[in-house]
Amino acid sequence: MFRLLLRRLLALVPLLFLVSVLTFSFTAMLPSDPVDLILGDTGTTEQHDMLRERMGLNDPVVVRYARWLGNAVQGDLGTSFFNSVDVTRAVMQRMPVTLSLTAVAALIAIATGIAAGVAAALYPRSWIDRLATIGATFGQAVPNFWFGLILVAIFAVNLHWFPATGFTPISQSPWDWLRSVTLPAVALGLSSSAAIARQVRSAMVGVLQMDYIRAARAQGLSARRVILRHALTNAMVPVIAVLSFQITVLLGGALIVEQVFAINGLGTLAITAVRQQDIPMIQGLVLVMVGMVVLVQLATDILYGLLNPKARPS
Amino acid sequence: MTEAPLLQLDDLWVSYYSRSMLGFAAKPFHAVKGASLTIEAGQTLGLVGESGSGKSSIANTVLGLVPPSQGKMVFDGQDLGALKTRYPAEIRRQIQAVFQDPYSSLNAAMTVEDIITEPLRVHTKMSKAERHARAVELMKMVSLNEDHLNRHPHQFSGGQRQRIAIAAALALQPKLVVLDEPVSALDVSTQNQIINLLYERRDALGMAYLLIAHDLALVHHISDRIAVMYLGHIVEEGPADRVYYQPAHPYTRALLDAVPQLDPAEQARRRAARKAAPAPDLQRVAATGCPYRNRCPLAMPRCEASMPPAYQVEGGGTAQCFLVEEQTRKGAA
């Protein structure tokens, strides 16, 4: 197991390198000139040339990339074009916000998705199965920002149970953090919950028909033990693949939901950066986001190996 | 036969109720129609019949997986048919099972040790070390290498997997083991090994077997008594030798004719006889009358009028066929 982990971690190095090349070259290919962006129409040609020389933009692209990568490896993602903010610090400041939103949404999605999927699979064609199917269709069809607005209208504006906007860090007040993160996390997690529920249901229906379930029941095990220990561990194997994908979707979705709830996470940062064509900020954000996605996939791969002995290297 | 039998089924019915789209109850399907069977402690009852005859439904009912819709089931002096809830745990651990396909009957996510000690974990208060010691013992009992306890099922062959399934079934030292087609998924060379293993273990541990199979020759080899099922009815039942060598029911005879023969002329005769008999037509099986009459070469008008009751057969056992009654009458006259 440890060797597998080590091997997977080493495999990340070329992957992250490739991502860094792509991120850098895409932003380098943008037709806009950073110097024009910074100075605008003001400034003389000499001033433009001076700034260009100072920023090292006259160097060949390979040199610029090597310089950027060298700094990035040391944790320095450069400085924003616009407000001289350190990109690494800006990203690290916002990251806990987006991560906690994504994590809570993922927890909600996994818990409700598995529960609904299992319940539907245990009683196929019952009212609970039908309710889960309708709920899953609804959940996957509804856009998260619209659902977020509806949640705000009901639970924040009318009932005053939760704040309508904003985010309280968990270090400041765990209770307020929970209140501030609940509505956006529910809005964000709904579609993933639906996708997981569908996958769990179909996997579970298949597993429940297997002979080893009949064998477990014939041994006289309780229904709970048969479902949780024998059926669910096997049904989770195909679900893990969906899970990994859904967490990636949640990370992307968080950027939009943050806008609805006026949360200062990576999303707000990214949208501002794109609008201003703040290239160092965009590069840094993309690199960090890809890093998170890669780590999530690594975690789910390991989980997959734990649940499915056949996928383990012997 | 002074002791009460270990398992007694009396006029057992098993029915399945499918639900239509709108939730109305559809017509029930009766998989078992009034089966009566007895298994003595330490003995083997072979239950044969073609697929769809209801033999697996009997197995599921005995294992407590499917409730009987009617009838009595007495195990070790306790009337289980009367229990509306699940079997009590002390009964549950006395009945274990080995299923047909060892490729799907073992949980791929568990190690061999977890698989064979799972019944111990649920039904006993054994410590982890005690369970491990028992697992080692069980591996020896089924001639598997004890060093392989932490392997997973996919690392074993079909025959080895079936040995694992048998080890799990033996873990609690049950009084009755239901063997549902235990060798039909294995290749022929492995079949004999598994049958011999089951044979040895039964004699060493004094368990009773309910052996379900479609191969009469194999069933005869290992059983004390044989019961033959056809479309939910037990059409013949009796001591293994009597049923095998002097079958009383035409259906049992047809099943015996299906056992391949070495003599080509005999084989050709049997093949011709099989072709003459049409396959069962479920639509044409009326509610009354003998279910086998459409296929029976010896059917008589009275077979259509009413279901033959179970007649005593000379040499032991019963058969649900009017011919038995007529032969007995002729013998008496």
**Total number of residues shown for chain B:** 333
- Bigger pLDDT: A198 vs B280: A198
**Least confident residue range of A266-280, B24-38, B144-158, B185-199:** B24-38
* Residue B276's pLDDT band (cuts 50, 70, 90): low
**Least confident residue range of A186-190, A283-287, B261-265:** B261-265
Answer whether B37's CB lies under 8 Å from B74's CB: no
**Total number of residues shown for chain A:** 314
A241 pLDDT more than 90: no
Give the sign of the dihedral formed by CA A217, CA A219, CA A224, CA A225: negative
- Bigger pLDDT: B60 vs A277: B60
Tens of pLDDT, residue by residue over A183-217, are 999 999 999 999 999 999 999 999 998 889 989 98
Judged by DSSP in three states, B144 sits in: coil
Tell me if B65 and A217 make a contact (CB, 8 A cut-off).
Answer: yes
Mean per-residue pLDDT, B243-268: 85
Cα B142 to Cα B122: distance, rounded to the nearest angstrom: 22
Residue B226, pLDDT score: 95
User: Which residues, in sequence order, are CB contacts of B196 under 8 Å at separation 6+?
Assistant: none
How distant is the alpha carbon of residue A311 from its chain centre? 25
Answer whether B139's CB lies under 8 Å from B100's CB: no
- What's the whole-number average pLDDT of chain B? 86
Tell me if A234 and B109 make a contact (CB, 8 A cut-off).
Answer: yes
Question: Taking CA atoms, what residue in A is nearest to B87?
Answer: A220
Cα A136 to Cα A194: distance, rounded to the nearest angstrom: 4
Residue B148, pLDDT score: 92
A305-313 own/partner pairs: CB under 8 Å, 24+ apart:
A305/A1, A305/A4, A307/A233, A307/A234, A307/A236, A307/A237, A307/A240, A307/B109, A308/A237, A308/B108, A308/B109, A309/B108, A309/B109, A309/B111, A309/B152, A309/B154, A310/B108, A310/B152, A310/B154, A312/A1, A312/A4, A313/A4
Closest partner residue to B109 (CB to CB) among A218, A219, A308 is: A308
Tell me if B118 and A216 make a contact (CB, 8 A cut-off).
Answer: yes
Residue B106, pLDDT score: 92
Which of the residue ranges A6-10, A35-39, A81-85, B21-25 has the most confident prediction, judged by mean pLDDT? A6-10
Cα A88 to Cα A105: distance, rounded to the nearest angstrom: 25
* Tokens (6 digits) for B187: 């290749």
Answer whether A96's CB lies under 8 Å from A176's CB: no
Q: Which residues of chain A are within 8 Å of residue B119 when distances are taken between CB atoms?
A: 219-220
Question: Taking CA atoms, what residue in B is nearest to A213?
Answer: B105
**How far apart, in Å, are the Cα atoms of A24 and each of A29, A275, B246?**
9, 18, 88
Distance from CA of B92 to the nearest CA of A (A): 5
Which residue matches tokens 């064509």?
A277
Residue A274, pLDDT score: 87
Burial grade of B199 (CB within 10 A; 0-12, 13-18, 19 or more): middle
Tell me if A218 and B65 make a contact (CB, 8 A cut-off).
Answer: yes
Cα B164 to Cα B309: distance, rounded to the nearest angstrom: 42
Residue A49, pLDDT score: 81
**Least confident residue range of A28-37, A180-189, B128-137, B185-194:** A28-37
Residue B85, pLDDT score: 64
User: Which residues, in sequence order, are CB contacts of B270 under 8 Å at separation 6+?
Assistant: B257, B258, B261
Residue A220, pLDDT score: 84
Cα-Cα-Cα-Cα torsion A70, A72, A76, A78, nearest 10 degrees, comes to: 90
User: Which residues, in sequence order, are CB contacts of A255 under 8 Å at separation 6+?
Assistant: A98, A265, A266, A267, A270, A271
Cα B225 to Cα B213: distance, rounded to the nearest angstrom: 13
Contact with chain A for residue B96, Cβ under 8 A: yes
Most B CBs within 10 Å, among A125, A209, A212, to test the B interface: A212
pTM of the model: 0.78
Residue B239's DSSP bridge partners are B225
| Spatial CA neighbour of A218 closest among B52, B177, B182 | B177
Percent of chain B's residues with pLDDT above 90: 41
Q: Which residues of chain B are within 8 Å of residue A125 when distances are taken between CB atoms?
A: 19
| Spatial CA neighbour of B270 closest among B255, B292, B291, B251 | B255
Tell me if A220 and B178 make a contact (CB, 8 A cut-off).
Answer: no
Residue B23, pLDDT score: 56
B283 pLDDT more than 60: no
Q: Which one-letter amino acid corresponds to residue A122? A: L
| Biggest CA pair distance of chain A | 87
Most A CBs within 10 Å, among B66, B92, B99, B107, to test the A interface: B107
ipTM of the complex: 0.81
Mean per-residue pLDDT, B5-21: 82
Mean per-residue pLDDT, A269-277: 87
Tens of pLDDT, residue by residue over B69-81, are 888 889 988 888 6
Residue B164, pLDDT score: 95
* Tokens (6 digits) for B286: 């009326």
Percent of chain A's residues with pLDDT above 70: 98
> How would you label A192-214 residue by residue, b for 16+ Cβ within 10 Å and e otherwise?
bbbbbbbbbbbbbbebbebbbbb
A69-74 own/partner pairs: CB under 8 Å, 24+ apart:
A69/A20, A69/A24, A72/A20, A72/A284, A72/A287
**How far apart, in Å, are the Cα atoms of B166 and each of A226, B155, B163?**
19, 17, 5
**Three-state secondary structure of B264-289:** HHHHHHHHHHHHHCCCCCHHHCCCCC
Beta-carbon-side half-sphere exposure of residue A204 (alpha carbons within 13 Å): 24
Distance from CA of A87 to the nearest CA of B (A): 46
Residue B94, pLDDT score: 92
* Residue B1's pLDDT band (cuts 50, 70, 90): very low
Judged by DSSP in three states, A176 sits in: helix
Cα-Cα-Cα-Cα torsion B256, B261, B265, B269, nearest 10 degrees, comes to: 20
Tens of pLDDT, residue by residue over A41-52, are 777 778 878 887
Cα B127 to Cα B121: distance, rounded to the nearest angstrom: 9
A68 pLDDT more than 90: no
